[in-house]
Structure 1
Amino acid sequence: MILYLVLFSTILFVILYFRLYLFAFPENRLPILMYHKVEKTSNDDLTVDLENLEKQFKYLRKKKYTSKFFTEIDLPAKKSIILTFDDGYKNNFNFLPSLLEKYDLKATIFISTKFIQEGYQNYEMMTFEDIRNLDKKYFEIALHTHAHENFRNVSDDFVEKDLKKNMQILTDQGIKYSTTLAYPYGKYSKENKKKLKLFSTLKNLGIDFALRIGNKVNYFPTNKPYELCRIDIKGKDSLIKFKLKLIFGRLKLF
């Protein structure tokens, strides 16, 4: 009897933790995938090579996933998915348009405006002209702050000013953007008072959604719009691992 209870409890935990119950309500299942750089070859976790990325896109098309912008997620679909790319690397501009068009997919790029203005380490970043020239059929621009500072390490006042600057620069550059934020490093304070203050700031700025990492599939519609999860797609993920992440998010044993 005890064995059955343990087995039942384990199965129930897996179902709830990985939100497998969403397979019974596919229109409420919303995986959001997180990418950064795209190159012909990959030597690090933040870079997906072209061959693997194409295999992943091909699989999404084969399985009839419907990729969406954040401005479209109120329209339910049985296999909705959102593809996101952070920071604004030039390689996104070089490689993504043809792949997205080939597999009829859409992507949201979260722009950190300081990176566009001043560069980031030794990486080549898009220009504002590049961003303006992205095909709006396949690309949506969204917010990634101006200075890309970890929200756990800065004041409430800094967060508000920095987000306003992010939004204002994009507006001044004639770039239409979604009122969706990807937290830099996927982080914000977990202390309840600071978290509520942050969420109040986001609401006052007109931001509709904000994304952490979390590595779980979302239930949507959600009552936690500022705590949406993204699934981190690593550079060396095999196609099998990619398929498992679409179901479970990230499994720690992989």
Structure 2
Amino acid sequence: MYHKVDPLTPGSLTVTTEQLRQHITYLQTSGYQFVTLNQVLGSVATPATALPRRAVLLTFDDGYENNLTYAVPILHELSVPATIFVPTAYVGKTNVWDEGSDALLTVEQLKGLSEAGIALAYHTHEHLNFKNETGARIRADLEQSHVEANRMGLPMAPAFSYSYGGRPKNPADRQLMRETMARLGIKLAFRIGNRINPLPLRDLYELNRIDVRGSESFARFRRKVKWGKLV
């Protein structure tokens, strides 16, 4: 799970282009195999189409314009597929949920990325932390994200990532969220977790991702990829 990419300056949510290249190259030379979101969806729909044992799905949250500027050239050069999770209320705007001014991808840019083989998927409508919301509010947000994606003509895959990794703690709210996702056709939902997903995939609305931070060392990245959550 990546967010922003910058040519020089790393941070908690930002990796440099050198770090991104280093991470991808390490995975490619260490027996890991990058897969597309469609491959993951296919493995769920048709169990006979199993994922490779050391499959890696590369994802970017929020849809920052710097993904297009700095990450996509590296992905194309190294022939690596990726998925961008898009908060539909902020397409073409900035990351106001962080009180930030980072530009987000426009409708035209997102469509261009899709045509270039980058998958697009849902990341709530208003970048809400579902941990803090009622089931009714979550349902409305999920429905609105679909309405807006359709209005903009974005070819969204039936997958979702939780903003902040948050899911409702109340069982009734969580059940309503899952029922809404199923009704809207969402097949997969990704949390953070920092754990390795066993294959075949189990709870499809609780898939783990490794949180990659530019502020962490390469050695820590390697340990996370191998072992998952660090003590």
TM-score, normalization: structure 2? 0.88
Question: In structure 2, which of residues 59, 68, 71 is the aligned counterpart of residue 96 of structure 1?
Answer: 71
Supply the AA of the counterpart residue of 1:90.
E
Matches of residues 1-254 of structure 1 in structure 2 within 5 Å?
34-73=1-40, 74=43, 75=49, 76-120=51-95, 121-134=100-113, 136=115, 138-252=117-231
Supply the AA of the counterpart residue of 1:106.
P
CA-to-aligned-CA distance 1:55-97 (integer Å, 9 cap, x gap) = 1111122224222222211132132110110001000011122
In structure 2, the gaps of 5 or more residues are 44-48
User: In structure 2, what is the Cα distance between the partners aligned to 1:49 and 1:183?
Assistant: 24
- Report if the CA contact (8 A) 2:89-2:148 is conserved: no
- Report if the CA contact (8 A) 1:44-1:236 is conserved: yes
Aligned to 2:46: none
Task: Describe the shift of the 1:137–1:67 C-alpha distance in structure 2 as closer, same or farther (beyond 3 A).
Answer: farther
Shift of 1:209: 0.8
- Report if the CA contact (8 A) 1:42-1:236 is conserved: no
Q: Matched residue of 1:134: which SS?
A: helix
In structure 1, the gaps of 5 or more residues are 1-33
User: In structure 2, what is the Cα distance between the partners aligned to 1:222 and 1:62?
Assistant: 24
Q: Matched residue of 2:127: which SS?
A: coil
> How many residue pairs were aligned?
219
The percent identity for this pair of structures is 32
Task: Describe the shift of the 1:136–1:62 C-alpha distance in structure 2 as closer, same or farther (beyond 3 A).
Answer: farther
- Report if the CA contact (8 A) 1:110-1:143 is conserved: yes
User: In structure 2, what is the Cα distance between the partners aligned to 1:211 and 1:122?
Assistant: 26
Q: Matched residue of 1:152: which SS?
A: helix
User: In structure 1, what is the Cα distance between the partners aligned to 2:181 and 2:122?
Assistant: 12
Structure 1 window deviating more from structure 2 (160-169 vs 104-113): it is: 160-169
Shift of 1:114: 1.6
- Report if the CA contact (8 A) 1:216-1:248 is conserved: yes
Structure 1 window deviating more from structure 2 (34-43 vs 179-188): it is: 34-43
- Report if the CA contact (8 A) 2:124-2:141 is conserved: yes
Task: Describe the shift of the 1:240–1:138 C-alpha distance in structure 2 as closer, same or farther (beyond 3 A).
Answer: farther
CA-to-aligned-CA distance 1:93-118 (integer Å, 9 cap, x gap) = 11122111111111110001122154
List, as ranges, runs of 4+ consecutive aligned residues in structure 1 with deviation greater than 3 Å: 135-138
Shift of 1:190: 2.5
- Report if the CA contact (8 A) 1:108-1:142 is conserved: yes
User: In structure 2, what is the Cα distance between the partners aligned to 1:69 and 1:168?
Assistant: 25
Higher Rg of the two aligned structures: 1
- Report if the CA contact (8 A) 2:58-2:81 is conserved: yes
Q: Matched residue of 1:142: which SS?
A: strand
Task: Describe the shift of the 1:44–1:187 C-alpha distance in structure 2 as closer, same or farther (beyond 3 A).
Answer: same
- Report if the CA contact (8 A) 2:63-2:84 is conserved: yes
Q: Matched residue of 1:160: which SS?
A: helix
Shift of 1:215: 0.6
Q: Which has the higher contact order (CA 8 A, sep 6+)?
A: 1
